[in-house]
A and B are shown apart, each in its own frame.
Chain A
Amino acid sequence: MLSIRDLRVDYDDFCAVHDLSLEVGPGEVCGLIGPNGAGKTTTMRTILGLIEPTYGEVKVMGSSIQDDRELVGRAVGFMPDFPPVYEDLKVWEFLDLFAASYRIPKSMRGEVVDRHLDLVGLTEKRDATVPGLSRGMRQRMMLAKTLIPDPAVLLLDEPASGVDPQGRIDLKNILKRVSAEGKAVLISSHILAEMNEFCTSVAIMERGRLVVGGRIDEVNRRIMGDMALAVEVLSDVELFRRVVAADDHAGPIEARADGIYEFRYRGDADAAAGLLARLVAEGVRVASFSRRKDNLEELFLKVGAKELS
């Protein structure tokens, strides 16, 4: 769906993106992670054709952004962190403007606008003027605008900034839905915990370069070299600690929450099953034993810290 090859972008004498290659397939939600100035926004704006790359190729649905701008315009939806809006329009007028821009027939525009207002929870603000909206509401309105043309590729630059908790839940659900519909999503955010919940792949950028990229579990395995286990223990914690410490594959135990203990585990699934069996056999009362979802924060801190050092 989205393919970037050998992309380089220069600002004056500063190389903002250096030989970046990245693929985002259908149904994939790729988290673009990196510190400020890493080149995330530049990458997104280059994909849109707003910044001229020094060289390299960006293809959307097989078409180069230089060769077929109209197709790319229809296929790519972009939402920036600070959504620019027309302050002299009403909410429905703003969405109608972009529905018309994306060639939605006049007869269908009213229905399309209302449907997307409902999708982002702004129906009651339909006739409000834009200056009367909070930042979060503007962000929702911009999300509706982004979704109106039903783009195959979504570029979201800090989409959750300024959005209230309900808005974040809505955003998460919308992203899950568009991913299930087979759209490709490239999303940048500093809220890694949230990205953890809906990203299927990750691209970590640092000083314009792609440090590491791929499916989260693969990247995690490559960098962390192991998995994280979370065990809920109801009693005999000392016994639990002794059994785990005796296992060669286990790392140091950390108590996360009430009765829940986490530790890195380098063994495979069979070894983990063996550990669980030993715990139960020793008499440790285990309420839950699970592989903890790979954590983007830890991943980023490990890679980012190394790069920054």
Chain B
Amino acid sequence: MLREWLDNPIFVKHLRSRLRPQAMATGASIVALICLCIVYGGFQSRPFDGRMAFAALMGVQFVVLGLVGSVQVGAAVGGAKGTGILDFHRVSPQTPTELTLGFLFGAPIREYLMAALTLPFLLLCAWLGYPDFRGLVQVEVMVLFVAWTLHALSLLGGLVLKGGVTGQNALGASIGIGIFVAGPIVGAFGLLSRLLDVDYRLEFFGFSLPWVAFVVLHVSALLAFVMLAALRKMESERLHGLTKRQALAAMAAFSVLAVGGMGNWPANGGPQLTALYALTVIAIVLISLTTPTQAEYARGLRRARKQGESGPPVLDDAAPNRPIIAAIGTVLLAAGSLIGMAMVDDPMMWRGMPKAASFPHSVAYATIVAAYFGLGLQYFLLRFGRRSANFFGLFLFVAWVLPLILGVVTILAVGPPGNDPRPPLIFSATPIVGIAATSDVFEDAAGPGPALVAFTLALLFAFVFNTLYIKAVRRVRHAVDRADAAIAKPDPDPLDALPAEPAPA
């Protein structure tokens, strides 16, 4: 089995191209020297500062494996897609799974080896006292899962993005990551190291799990659905990342995870509101993934009519997205309501936190926002075809970003939000703030106004886009009818007009 896997052509291709001695030796030397510097730094304090050295070494390992590795995955698959050679792999007997795993583990092979170079130094830290072996394994497991998820996201990006990722981009990104991201990451591992001091545990539906198991559970769900999308895109560029059924399953899975973990934070509205935001973003992403373009819908219509049907089946990739919006919205509504049930108003909580009694308003508002986003996206795609990205982008800027800018300008003019009701009212026009605003977080500053503004605009957009959606669907149907009627007219046989007799001598 392992022998067969190691004979994966894409994996072997990367073994050959990425492990050529000269390039490998250079990268390995740099990582080894950095690790030596870190350990040297640890030895400068007496006794050996294992906590600092451990955090820095983990930071290096994460930058190399997680960030540079994911850039390499994106560059490899994006380059293969950009040149067209990926199509040769697609039409070969290799399965999409083989191709995906080949890129996922082959492209960052040099980074795996360079990350492995940090292990002796990490073991040295453990031997010198910090962390213990259990803690080291916990952090390594977490880093590996997060790195795989980043790799999978990058692979999906390489398959989806038009330009792909070039080697030069990868180099630039690596330098950028090295300069701007490495510091915060080392800091993050410094915070993480505190988790290792105690056997920290988290509850999931009442079951007590080690913190790493809790994290891996959530990351695994993300990894699974990203891989599912990557497999589909690897199989064919024309497929949507997820089918409508898979998108619904993803929404349900993330909702279960969000609800299951809420028991850890019962007395404060912050985590509940964060979870609601996260679920809304997930719902919007899933709706976007399953929304057909004008060309896809027209193709689906023609195919269905050829088979004697009036249109594509509801759950077909080519079917308009309103049924899936309803399904995903229902799951969001249910999950949000369950999350809200875990919420208890804390008399000590600070001003501006969401109220338990108002949280259902936020849930309803988030559902309407996801719905009008989906209806709007479908309308723009059906109505404007290739230009839809421009128009929908403009709408999102005006409806979602502009209120933020205007709100900030108003604050600069009138002072902090507590002094004037106008900034909260303006901010509430965008769903980015509106979800919180409908939980009465601005009640003290502006009364019920922000919630009213948010709901009024969301309902207006939902109504308008639903109407436009219906018109756009009809328009495409008529356009297809007209185009097919024009094509169906029999052309004169060009051969009929050709002279059958030779020219006279």
Closest to A78 in B: B91
Residue of B whose beta carbon sits closest to that of A302: B498
A104 to chain B, nearest CB (A): 10
Report which of A55, A93, A211 forms a contact with B13, defined as CB distance below 8 A.
A93
**Complexed CA–CA distance, A84 and B85 (Å):** 5
- Complex CA–CA separation, A55 to B312 (angstroms): 13
Decide if A234 is an interface residue (CB 8 Å cutoff).
Answer: no
Q: A253 CB to closest chain B CB, in angstroms?
A: 8
- Give the complex CA separation of A245 and B483 in angstroms: 52
Choose, from B195-203, B298-306, B390-398, B459-467, the stretch at the interface.
Answer: B298-306
CA distance A102 to B491 in the complex (A): 44
B347 within 8 A of partner (CB): no
Q: Determine if A101 and B94 form an interchain contact, defined as CB atoms under 8 angstroms apart.
A: yes
Complex Cα spacing A249 to B502, Å: 8
With a CB–CB cut-off of 8 A, which chain A residues contact B51? none
A55 touching B306 by the CB < 8 A rule?
Answer: yes
The CA-CA distance from A223 to B295 in the complex, in Å, is 37
Mask of A61-88 contacts with B, CB within 8 angstroms, 1/0: 0000000001011101010101011101
Residues facing A in B383-406 (CB within 8 A) are 385-386
Beta-carbon nearest neighbor of B496 in chain A: A306
Task: Tell me the count of chain A residues lying within 8 A, CB to CB, of chain B.
Answer: 62
Please determine whether A306 and B498 come into contact, CB atoms closer than 8 angstroms: yes
Interface SS, A side: mixed
Asked if A251 and B502 make an inter-chain contact with CB atoms under 8 angstroms apart, the answer reads: yes
Q: Taking A89-B13, A250-B505 as contacts, is the C-beta distance between A10 and B298 under 8 angstroms? A: yes
Which residues on B sit within 8 Å (CB–CB) of A226?
502
Chain B 293-331 interface 0/1 with A at a Cβ cutoff of 8 Å (1 = within): 011001100110011000000000000000000000000
Q: Contact mask A14-54 → B, CB, 8 Å, 1/0?
A: 01001000000000000000000000000001001111101
* Chain A residue contacts of B91, Cβ below 8 A: 48-50, 72-73, 76, 78
Is A244 interfacial (CB 8 A cutoff)?
A: yes
Q: Flag whether B179 is at the interface (Cβ < 8 A).
A: no
Instruction: Determine if B13 and A97 form an interchain contact, defined as CB atoms under 8 angstroms apart.
Output: yes
Interface contact A252-B9, CB-CB below 8 Å: no
- Picked from A11, A50, A209, A223, the residue with its CB within 8 Å of the CB of B87 is A50
User: In the assembled complex, which residues on chain B have CB atoms less than 8 Å from the CB atom of A82?
Assistant: 84
Is B180 an interface residue, CB under 8 A from the partner?
A: no
Proximity bits, A101-138, B CB within 8 Å = 1, else 0: 11100100000000000000000000000000000000
With an 8 A cutoff between CB atoms, is B132 at the interface? no
Q: Which of A274-309 contact B (CB under 8 A)?
A: 302-303, 306-307
Task: Name the residue of chain B whose CB is nearest to the CB of A212.
Answer: B495
Using Cβ atoms and an 8 Å threshold, which residues of chain B touch A86?
A: 13, 17, 80, 85
* The 8 A-B residue pairs with the shortest CB-CB distance in the complex, in nearest-first order: A100-B9, A84-B83, A88-B17, A84-B85, A84-B84, A101-B92, A251-B502, A55-B306
Residue positions of B touching A, CB distance < 8 A? 7, 9-10, 12-13, 16-17, 80, 83-85, 87-95, 236-238, 294-295, 298-299, 302-303, 306-307, 385-386, 479, 483, 487, 491, 494-495, 497-505
A-B contact pairs, 10 of them (CB 8 A): A12-B294, A12-B385, A13-B298, A50-B237, A52-B236, A54-B299, A70-B95, A245-B505, A248-B505, A265-B502
Given contacts A15-B487, A251-B503, could you give 14 more A-B pairs where the C-beta distance is less than 8 Å? A12-B295, A50-B91, A70-B93, A72-B91, A73-B91, A82-B84, A86-B17, A89-B16, A97-B13, A209-B491, A223-B495, A223-B498, A225-B501, A248-B505
Q: Which A positions have Cβ atoms within 8 angstroms of B?
A: 8, 10-13, 15, 18, 45, 48-52, 54-55, 70, 72-74, 76, 78, 80, 82, 84-86, 88-89, 93, 97-98, 100-103, 106, 145, 149, 206, 209, 211-212, 222-223, 225-226, 244-245, 247-252, 263-266, 302-303, 306-307
